[in-house]
Amino acid sequence: GDSVTQMEGPVTLSEEAFLTINCTYTATGYPSLFWYVQYPGEGLQLLLKATKADDKGSNKGFEATYRKETTSFHLEKGSVQVSDSAVYFCALRGTGGFKTIFGAGTRLFVKA
């Protein structure tokens, strides 16, 4: 079945550092790919998405490119802020368009 694997955390960075959180997936067909962010005590919020190969999703300085050849969707940000501290989830929605599968989440701490 479909699955999502993302790097284990926590990831600790200093403010203004470069961020990469790796995400790879296994799926049949052409899934849609997502990154969600969860701040403490809140529900998940959609951060960005990509629906086909080579698409780049972007939002709030975060970017991720849908790489079908490597089945990856790595999240990047050029300069993190303390306010980016949160848990980040990679997810895919399968070709049938019904179920969404989530990775285990990666906690990010950004120090001032």
Quick check: 66 binds other proteins (CB under 8 A)?
Answer: no
Q: What are phi and psi of 83, to 5 degrees?
A: -70, -10
- Are the CB atoms for 110 and 88 separated by under 8 Å? no
**Choice from 62, 66, 73, 89 touching other proteins (CB under 8 A):** 89
Quick check: 103 binds other proteins (CB under 8 A)?
Answer: yes
Query: How many C-beta atoms surround the C-beta of residue 87 within 10 A?
Result: 17
Distance from C-alpha of 77 to C-alpha of 60, rounded to nearest angstrom: 9
- Are the CB atoms for 101 and 4 separated by under 8 Å? yes
Quick check: 105 binds other proteins (CB under 8 A)?
Answer: yes
Give the pair of three-digit tokens for residue 21.
Answer: 């959180």
Quick check: 82 binds other proteins (CB under 8 A)?
Answer: no
Distance from C-alpha of 3 to C-alpha of 17, rounded to nearest angstrom: 30
Give the nearer residue to other proteins in terms of CB position, either 36 or 62.
36
Q: How far is the CB of 26 from other proteins (least distance, A)?
A: 15
Stretch that binds other proteins, among 16-24, 27-35, 59-67, 69-77 (CB under 8 A): 27-35
Binding site for other proteins (CB under 8 A): 30, 32, 34, 36, 42-46, 49, 51, 89, 91, 93, 95-105
